[in-house]
Structure 1
Amino acid sequence: MIGLAAIRRGLTCSALAITLGFAAPAQADFPERNITLVVPFPAGGTTDIVARIIAGQLQGEYGKSVIIENRGGASTAIGTVAVGKAEKDGHTLLFTAATTFTSNPHLLPSIKYKLEDFAPVAMVVKVPFAFVVKKDFPAQDLKAFRDYALANPGKINNATNGAGSTVHLLGEVVARGLGVEVQHVHYRGAAPATNDMLAGVVDSNVEALTNSAPNHKAGQYRALAVLSDERLPQLSDVPTFKELGFPSVVGGSWFAVFAPAGTPQAVVDKLNTSISRIVRSPDFARRMQEIGNEPAAMTPAELATYVRNESDRLGTLIRDAGITVE
């Protein structure tokens, strides 16, 4: 028979264990040291610019340095793999774009990482795109473009930023959504593709808002529709594909923060709260509007679901279109 004293001792130990169990995950002292935010792109690009804004705000909130480490190369794999192998304590984070987890796994089967190696922390921005045509293209609106494309199958040259790039995939989304055939012309990056659009060398392109808004307003080329769910303030005169009767033509890119899988949930939640507060601030919204991005906060669970859905959607597109990269 167990005595009353033994029962009391057991209850006391259990209470202490419960108390410690709640205290440990609280992570009230996070961060304990400087945070490294790995950007798997070279310095100076839009991803890097947004990461530095977030880093500066986090540094002010946490009172610890938030160091940007640019580790570009291998289609973001070098930096991504490094973060996946880092300590699972929230002090090394990944700030990356959509391709890392949505298209790369389907285009680059030999990559050494997978989404399950990471804990989604926070969405930061969405990157809107517009479908544009050269200024002397014979079609003045999307209906006329579709009619022209149907009458001239495969004769429209559509610029991309490279085979398998976000712009290539979105160009395929547009073509399939409209039910037309275009000839994709692959460039080595956004700058040469945009330059040939401006020069009228190619007929169409899917341009990020950063370029499409000012060039459309200046009459350098014409934006026929945007691929976002709603009209964009920077291109308020340009309808969405949904408005024009093509609801499947939706897409874009995004930037988000990830931690190594196994990072304590309390740390992930604290980071999400801090980053989401920054993302929702008027100052951040103003700075993103200047760049052409849309602030977009999500919980870790919402981000995880969003990334999986986008990966499934693009995986289907890549397989159906037979898209490959060399």
Structure 2
Amino acid sequence: MTQLSFTRRVVVGIVAAAAMAAPAAAEVDFSGKTIEWVIPFSETGGSAKWANFFAPLLSEELPGNPTVVVKFMPGAGSTKGANWFQQQQHKDGTLLFGSSGSTQFPYLLGDPRVRYEYGDWIPVMATGTGGVAYLNAEDGAKFDGSANGLKDTDFIFGSQGATGLDLVPLLAWQMLGMNVEPVFGIKGRGDGRLMFERGEATIDYQTSSGYLGGSADLVAAGSAVPMMSWGALDDNGVIVRDPTFPDMPSFKEVCEATEGCETSGVAWDAWKAFFISGYPSQKIAFLPQGTPQDVVDTYVAAFEAVRSRPDFAELSANEVGKYPMFVGAGAANATKEATTVSPEAREQVVSWLKDAYGVSLE
């Protein structure tokens, strides 16, 4: 699908939602109903924490205060759940799906497992996130703000797969000249953290919600040492420190301090393109294709009410980090950003996947 046709299909799906017509929204009533929010990962990762954070807030704002239950459908790097959602035709608003970078990247890369089309889905809410890489205590003692002292160490990393969100850290570590051996096949980032806790992995990363909800405790206990965040984008599109972790260097800073790592050129441009696709618009809530407009309007209004709560900024900062939340038309724009990369960036990453891991997507 071309970028233009994608944009047209998304706009058609959300333009009325942006207006948030009150009369239509008022007619929808979820009293006595249960809404299933399907997450295509295990219950231990950042997407689980994200959905579990928003679910009770959404329940409070939807008319009739339905029960919002988060369900998990892990498998095939999240493409199993996304392929299932593509086939759903729910029209009563009782099904919601949560996409993440690990769902978006296979779509961008042309992964043969993908049988879903983002242009068919209706985005109602999106949030950004960040990510933090950390080391075990022994190797963390060698870290001085650069990776120079880590290049002779062999690391083990529990990975969901090289074509998902894990490609951001895997490519970053390679650019730093580090020897990181991924063990593919875990079902969620929380499982990677468990491998790290058991000593089966010696390096790990988590998205912000997963880090705040679990890995920060490892740091406090002295069994993990933060290495870097991936950073965040400022208003000019420049990578700066993540506002949730302002005392932690960004990958850009660590790269600049490391011999042989460049923050310009083809590799950097490719890494930055997928970082932008995978993090500033990282987690998105969708209704299935064919959902009636009054139901879409109701969800947009409910998520807008969540965002407008006076205590929302504090609640979200503690649970999922300090990142923007988009609803309605803003969520559609975020979806476009998350599912668009240049042909040059895609070609560079596809070539790297084949050379580094023998993954062929052609």
Residues 151-166 of structure 1 mapped to structure 2, 5 A cutoff: 152=152, 156-164=154-162, 166=164
SS in 2 for 1:141: coil
Corresponding position of 1:37: 36
Which residue type is aligned with residue 126 of structure 1? G
Q: Is the 8 A contact 1:101 1:114 kept in 2?
A: no
Q: Is the 8 A contact 2:24 2:297 kept in 1?
A: no
CA distance in 1, matches of 2:338, 2:174: 17
Corresponding position of 1:58: 58
Residues 193-208 of structure 1 mapped to structure 2, 5 A cutoff: 193-195=192-194, 197-198=196-197, 202-208=201-207
Q: Is the 8 A contact 1:59 1:65 kept in 2?
A: yes
Corresponding position of 2:250: 240
Which sits farther off after the overlay, 214-223 or 29-38?
29-38
The normalised TM-score by structure 1 is 0.71
Q: Is the 8 A contact 1:35 1:64 kept in 2?
A: no
Question: What whole-Å deviation, never above 9, does each CA across 1:93-124 have from its counterpart, x for those lacking one?
Answer: 2233332233356364233321122011111x
Q: Is the 8 A contact 2:125 2:284 kept in 1?
A: yes
Residues 207-286 of structure 1 mapped to structure 2, 5 A cutoff: 207-208=206-207, 209-210=211-212, 211-229=214-232, 230-232=240-242, 235-244=245-254, 245=256, 246=263, 251=275, 254-264=282-292, 267-281=295-309, 283-286=311-314
Corresponding position of 1:11: none
Q: Is the 8 A contact 2:121 2:289 kept in 1?
A: yes
Q: Is the 8 A contact 1:139 1:148 kept in 2?
A: yes
Which residue type is aligned with residue 59 of structure 1? S
Residues 141-160 of structure 1 mapped to structure 2, 5 A cutoff: 141-143=144-146, 145-146=147-148, 148-149=150-151, 152=152, 156-160=154-158
Which residue type is aligned with residue 194 of structure 1? R
Instruction: After TM superposition, give the deviation of residue 215 of structure 1 in Å.
Output: 2.4
Corresponding position of 1:4: none
Instruction: After TM superposition, give the deviation of residue 171 of structure 1 in Å.
Output: 1.8
SS in 2 for 1:225: strand
Q: Percent identity?
A: 17
Question: Which of the numbers 335, 342, 351 marks the counterpart of 1:307?
Answer: 335
Ranges in structure 1 where 5+ consecutive residues have no aligned partner: 1-21
Over 3 Å counting, the alpha-carbon distance change for 1:101 and 1:64 in structure 2 is same
Over 3 Å counting, the alpha-carbon distance change for 1:231 and 1:218 in structure 2 is farther
| 2:99 is aligned with 1:96 | yes
Question: Which of the numbers 114, 130, 133 marks the counterpart of 1:131?
Answer: 133
Corresponding position of 1:13: none
Q: Please identify the structure whose Cα radius of gyration is greater.
A: 1
Q: Is the 8 A contact 2:159 2:183 kept in 1?
A: yes
SS in 1 for 2:325: coil
Q: Is the 8 A contact 1:39 1:47 kept in 2?
A: no
CA distance in 1, matches of 2:191, 2:58: 35
Over 3 Å counting, the alpha-carbon distance change for 1:133 and 1:43 in structure 2 is closer
Question: What whole-Å deviation, never above 9, does each CA across 1:165-201 have from its counterpart, x for those lacking one?
Answer: 75631222313553x2533221543456435545666
Instruction: After TM superposition, give the deviation of residue 258 of structure 1 in Å.
Output: 0.7
Over 3 Å counting, the alpha-carbon distance change for 1:109 and 1:222 in structure 2 is same
Question: What whole-Å deviation, never above 9, does each CA across 1:197-230 have from its counterpart, x for those lacking one?
Answer: 4566655332342344332333222212111215
The normalised TM-score by structure 2 is 0.65
Over 3 Å counting, the alpha-carbon distance change for 1:265 and 1:184 in structure 2 is farther
CA distance in 2, matches of 1:112, 1:167: 18
CA distance in 2, matches of 1:316, 1:158: 27
Corresponding position of 1:113: 116
Which residue type is aligned with residue 40 of structure 1? I
SS in 2 for 1:163: coil
Q: Is the 8 A contact 2:58 2:68 kept in 1?
A: no
Ranges in structure 2 where 5+ consecutive residues have no aligned partner: 1-18, 233-239, 257-262
CA distance in 2, matches of 1:183, 1:159: 7
Question: What whole-Å deviation, never above 9, does each CA across 1:251-275 have from its counterpart, x for those lacking one?
Answer: 4653321122344556434422321
CA distance in 1, matches of 2:218, 2:68: 34
SS in 1 for 2:90: coil
**Aligned positions, number:** 297
Give the superposed CA RMSD: 3.8
Over 3 Å counting, the alpha-carbon distance change for 1:203 and 1:295 in structure 2 is same
